[in-house]
Chains A and B, each alone.
Chain A
């Protein structure tokens, strides 16, 4: 028995003394390996008397287990010590910048169009489109702007060489010709918005030869000016995110609507900066009116039965007002600095239900 105690303390000492995993492995081999001390003693059991063998066997098994446990414990200890050292060595400077990535942005014009689509979409409007190179008839005559109308002068029209129906074709001066195309082809009732490129022969600080408009048209049997007010007030408040935004309708003139109204929103110009909201001043943002019966008749719609409203506004202007962009011309400059600054995150997808406001 004493032999076993001595062996145990000798092996325990060796385990304890093993400085690393390799040394410990050698200890394991010398104790528990094929020719190890304990293995040899186990083999010797066969030569004992059966009654002695049982007791000695039990003692040896206990010793074997104890030594194995000691080795495992020591091994765990040694391995952990190694890991800590390795981890300390593996430290890197995480203040280094990330690998370069480029981040794209969405142009404010696209974003503003998407915002307006999300608002009008909630009100049941669908998006309609039409060509940029347009026939004179669609751009003017059908909209109650005959060839000799003074309003034609105010349009600063671009012409192309092509002719249709005896008139030079134009670059559409507004998105309104899409009203005509829709009324000619689509079944009633109609509720459309038309975002798109428009062109005027004018280039200075506040005019660009190309800009964007969004047009709206509602035609049915009941829609009246009260609905026009309701629709556009909701739109203005949702777009600018100002619940109590004052919206003013004042009489104006457009050949294609009768009565016609220009729409102003409340604002302040104090200190040279524009603020949108319930202040003392007014800012014009869009034109609107009840569709002129002549326009309906030009599209083959019975103006005794059907009526409705139309409106139009400048996309860039809406973007400038909402996002404080000072200069119209910069929209088309493609200056990377501008695009990064005024652009929008790709996943900033406008939705009225996604979060409060746009």
Chain B
């Protein structure tokens, strides 16, 4: 909220400097967002007098002005339609900096005419968006005098952020009250005039609610004025509004704005002559339509409150007035309204209609329900002073809602919760200066909240009031001590696995990415899709519309973007969530990786090698090694989900229901659809599926058995059908003598040559590790025979001759 220092001082007696006031604003919770010293901002600009305005010889829409800046007369080219002989405006000379357009002026030739400065628009001084017309200042402004003075902008403008609970500080008076409580000054008593009614209002007001909707508007205060003159506001009022960025409109409208800013008391003025019959505050009828002051027609429903006349709705209560009964310059008879509208209902109405307004902002945060009559009186006096006319007696419909709430504040509570000792006298003084009624009781105080502090709803809120006014700086700094001498580990086993896998993959040359949890629908479908239930209702865009069923499409898309930038070889991974439904157990933290292009770029040491399925198989197996335990027994099966190449993908599993990972070449249809050039290989590791080690197993390793006897290696080559897997061959060879055979390695795979079409030759090296005595030739021969027999039996192959 914006206000000026001088306006604040109308309610606050203080001799404190601006800086100290700013400090306390922030420290009581009214955070200072900006301070604008306008006199400083405008110091280079002066009042300029347009002595003559003539058509530019070479441009239809430009004029050539002769401007007196108080020192000399300069020629200025100007495009504003309102530039004309005799007016006074804001002149900027060459070399001055124009804040609104971030330009430093210099002499320029415009269509053949030299321009030696500029007459400024509101946008150019950073005051509004208006750049059509130039600013005009009062005719009696002294030529060459500082523009800030002529514009009434010598004051400091302070902008504070108001948290949603502090509706009371949406009025400057409320801000002054908080500052006074904090000791920045004293609050000046508010003088409320008692305006005498001299006429009878021809319009009556009734609250027409059924029992269920009585809370929508418990009280409505009105006053009829006859014979007003709704002209321009006097300069002091215009200056006040201008300084905080509000455009003066007419005296009546300016008065309502003044009341809103000064006291957070929104008002509305109806043109009484346009009211048909009397005023009825009621719920709207379903489907009822109303043209609001923003020029839009809204369709209402039965839960929205309206102010209507005998004919139809003329204002959306607490949100926006209607076009039909709005005031304008010829208005002579008016009805002033100050009402209390239910905050929740106001918020709902605004939300349903998607209609934001200053009034709604205030009513939904709660205005002071005990300030309706005072607010009416203050505004009434202003109307009579500025617009003349005669006032009626105040009309009151309904009654003040009961706002008094009682809370007990234990005398120990401030210290218990706040950790700071505050004397009972101080606690009492703080609360009283904020308007609370405080009565001493056994063990604490009975507190009654003031009418403007609807946000205080319990003991903790009272503690906060005391602490913030006493100063958060007064709270001592106390170390948060651990319950144990040494920390006991911040992360659990599952979280630790993710962390280790993340860093392991990075050591393997993969770069960690973090991508959005959502993706486009077509990409979700390529990766198995997700149920309708986790499609976003209100996505930012169709590209971010569906919760992702897999991380891979995001990585593939990222690879595509990098390729577009000329980086086609990437190795990326992400550790993050993927979703199969809306329940917590449908969300899994998955580690997905992608390798695209060359695994090894061309260099002096050799040619390039493309990534292939064995790169990602290695990624998966090394990552799983980080987990250890039973995972080392996992088996690799041929094949994977549909987004992988069916013949070049694999699944790592402990059993059919315990899948640990998929890996493989990305299906060519997907790389084609997503327009990313291959080769692309990827993997997905479901770390959370890996079983946790049994508790209480201890840390000791199993006993290490080292054999002194020399191991023997024997090579075999088998011819098998090409559908036989290497894993089968190895397993068949190993199981020939589990005690003696310590390792079986595949050293060669060969097809073609003089082999049949569907045959391949696989070379195995078998390591025999004797444990008791060196093997004799006969023993080696016997084991070899067993190996051959076992392989033949299990694979249908033959030893190569």
Contacts and interface: CB of A to CB of B under 8 A. Distances in A.
Interface string B537-570: 1111100100100000011001001100101001
Given A224-B416, A224-B417, A339-B512, A150 B483 contact: no
Contact of B416 (A131, A258, A307, A337): A307
Contacts of A213: none
Interface string A243-278: 000000111110000111110000000000000000
Interface in A113-159: 114, 117-118, 120-127, 129-133, 148-151, 153-154, 158-159
B28 interface: yes
Chain A contact-residue range equals 35 or more
A189 B483 contact: yes
B513 A210 contact: no
Nearest to A258: B460
Contacts of A102: 509-510, 571
A96 B604 contact: yes
Contacts of B579: 132-133
Contacts of A346: 503-504, 506-507
Interface in B84-135: none
B582 A117 contact: no
Contacts of B26: 250
Contacts of A260: 464
A231 interface: yes
Interface in A168-224: 168-169, 171, 189, 191, 193, 197, 199, 201-203, 209-210, 218, 223-224
Contacts of A132: 517, 547, 577, 579, 587
Contacts of B517: 132, 171, 197, 199, 210
B600 to A, nearest CB: 6
Contacts of A158: 536-539
A117 B509 CA distance: 25
Nearest to B595: A102
A321 interface: no
Given A158-B538, A161-B532, A226-B420, A331 B514 contact: yes
Interface residues of B, number: 104
Contact of B540 (A124, A149, A209): A209
B347 interface: yes
B166 interface: yes
A35 interface: no
B348 A251 contact: no
Most chain A beta-carbon neighbours within 10 Å: one of B475, B489, B510: B475
A166 interface: no
Interface stretch (A40-48, A74-82, A104-112): A104-112
Most chain B beta-carbon neighbours within 10 Å: one of A100, A107, A123, A201: A100
B491 A127 contact: yes
Contact of B503 (A149, A307, A349): A349
B536 A250 contact: no
Contact of B467 (A103, A105, A225): A225
Nearest to A103: B509
A159 B27 CA distance: 36
Interface string B468-504: 1000110111111011100111111001000100111
B79 interface: no
A209 B519 CA distance: 12
A57 interface: no
The A contact surface, by secondary structure, is mixed
A101 interface: yes
A110 B503 CA distance: 10
A336 interface: yes
B458 A293 contact: yes
B463 interface: yes
A160 B571 contact: no
Interface in B601-659: 601, 603-606
B423 to A, nearest CB: 18
Given A199-B517, A343-B512, A259 B467 contact: yes
Contacts of A307: 416-417
A333 B557 CA distance: 10
A54 interface: no
A117 B491 CA distance: 8
A193 to B, nearest CB: 8
Nearest to B418: A225
A209 B416 CA distance: 40
A122 B487 contact: yes
Contacts of B587: 131-133
A354 interface: no
Contacts of A29: none
A126 B475 contact: no
B516 A332 contact: yes
Contact of B511 (A159, A210, A252, A336): A336
Given A225-B417, A229-B475, A249-B472, A123 B460 contact: no
B421 to A, nearest CB: 11
6 contacts: A130-B584, A150-B164, A151-B164, A226-B478, A258-B458, A335-B565
The 9 residue pairs across chains A and B that have the minimum distance between CB atoms: A226-B419, A121-B490, A251-B29, A102-B509, A253-B163, A259-B464, A334-B558, A346-B506, A104-B506
Interface of B: 26-29, 31, 163-166, 343-344, 347-348, 351, 364-365, 415-420, 458-461, 463-464, 467-468, 472-473, 475-480, 482-484, 487-492, 495, 499, 502-518, 532-541, 544, 547, 554-555, 558, 561-562, 565, 567, 570-572, 575-577, 579, 581-584, 586-587, 600-601, 603-606
